Amino acid sequence: MQSREIQLIRRPVGTPVAEDFALVTRDVPPPAPGEVQVRNLYMAVDPAMRGRMSDAASYVPPFVLEAPMEGPAIGEVTASAHPDFKPGDLVFSRLGWREVFNAPAEALQHRDAAALPPSAYLGFAGSTGLTAYAGLFRIAQLREGDVVFISAASGAVGSIACQIARIKGCKVIAAAGGPRKKAFLEEVLGVDAAIDYKAEPNLTKALARAVKAIGVTGIDVNFENVGGDHLQAALALANKHARFAICGMISQYNVTDAPTVPKNLTALMTKSIRMEGYIVLDHMDLEAQFLTDMTAWHKAGLIRQAETIHEGIDHALDAFHGLFSGDNLGRTLVKLG
C-alpha cells in the first residue's frame, strides 16, 4: 500500500510558498498489533495551520519539519489490529495531509456514518461548529435580540456563527470579501445586513451604514475572525457593555511588519466592553450539548454547511492558500478518498 503526504520542509516567512512543502510518497505496511489502518476521505484546512508552520511558541506545537503535517481528517478503516475498530468504520483523526496511515487506536474517534455525511464531522458537527457555538454562547454570552457583527462571515466558522445567531433570534450584520460572498450571506444565510468589505474604502463607515439600515444603535456582540480594520470598526460601533469574542485574527497571520490597527482600544473602557479571546480546545466540555443542539438544528433544516472541495492531496496546498486569498466559501476541504 502506498500513500502520498504533504510535508513541511522549510518554515515560511510571510505568505507560505510552494518551496516550503514537499509531496512525498511512502509505503504503508499492514497495521501492527494495537494499530488501525485508515484511508482518509476528507481533510480540512484551517488558518491556524499557518501558526504551526512557524516555530514560535503557541497553544499547539509547531509542525515537525520533513514529517507529514497534521490536521482534522475523516476517514474509513481499511484494516485493523485493534478490537475496537473494524474495516468500514468511519473515524475522525488529527492525521490529515496524508492519504493512508497506520495509527494507534487512541488517535482515532468513531463517528456515526448513518447520522451525517462524513464531511459534516469536519464542519458544523465538528470543531468548526463548536468554535462558533463556544464563542457565541460561552464567550459572548449571546442573548435573544442581540445585534451581532461577524467577520469572515462566509467562511467555515463565520457561516455557522451567522446561522446560530439567527436561530437564537439575533440580528446579524456579516462581513465578507466580494459580491459572491455578500450574496451568499444575504440570500443563503439570510443575515440582516451584509458588507462586502473589499468594496468599502472605510469599514467603520460601512458598518455604521449597516447598523442604521437595520434600525439599531450599534452592536452588542462582535464575533471576530479577522482583526485589524474589522475589529476597529466593531469597537467604533459597539454599544455600551458589548461583548467581543475574539475567535481569530486572520488578517494578521501572514504579516511580517507591525500591525497598525485598531487604534481605538480606548473604547474598551469608555463603553465598558468585555473582550475575550479563546481557543476551542479549552471548551470541549460543551461538546455534548453542542452536538445535541446541532443535530436538532440540522434535522429542523436550520443549519446548512457550505463547502469548497478541492480534489486530491496534490491540491491540498491550493485549499490552504484559498483561506488567505478568500477563494473559499464555507468549510474548505480536500477530498482524498
Ligand X SMILES: NC(=O)c1ccc[n+]([C@@H]2O[C@H](COP(=O)([O-])OP(=O)(O)OC[C@H]3O[C@@H](n4cnc5c(N)ncnc54)[C@H](OP(=O)(O)O)[C@@H]3O)[C@@H](O)[C@H]2O)c1
Binding site for ligand X (CB under 6 A): 46-48, 131, 152, 154-158, 176-178, 181, 225-226, 247-251, 278-280, 323-324, 326, 328, 332
135 near 276, Cβ under 8 Å? Answer: no
Give the residue with the Cβ less far from ligand X, 31 or 227.
Answer: 227
> Toward ligand X, which CB reaches closer, 80 or 328?
328
Distance CA 110, CA 244 (A): 34
| Of 31 and 262, CB closest to ligand X | 262
User: Between 31 and 158, whose beta carbon lies closer to ligand X?
Assistant: 158
d(CA 244, CA 108): 34
| Nearest CA-CA partner of 76 in 100, 101, 40, 119 | 40
Cβ atoms of 158 and 131 closer than 8 Å: no
Q: In angstroms, what is the minimal distance from the CB of 136 to ligand X?
A: 12
Nearer to ligand X, 41 or 152 (CB): 152
The CB-of-145 to ligand X minimum distance in angstroms stands at: 25
What is the bridge-based pairing of β-strands 35-44 and 73-80?
A: antiparallel
C-alpha cell at 268: 474598551
Shortest spacing between CB 25 and ligand X, in angstroms: 28
Which is nearer to ligand X, 34 or 190 (by Cβ)? 190
Q: Is 238 exposed, middle or buried (0-12, 13-18, 19+ CB in 10 A)?
A: buried
Q: Which residues of 37-55 are buried (b: 16+ CB within 10 A; e: fewer)?
A: bbbbbbbbbbbbbbebbee
Least Cα distance to 152 among 116, 171, 178, 127 occurs for 178
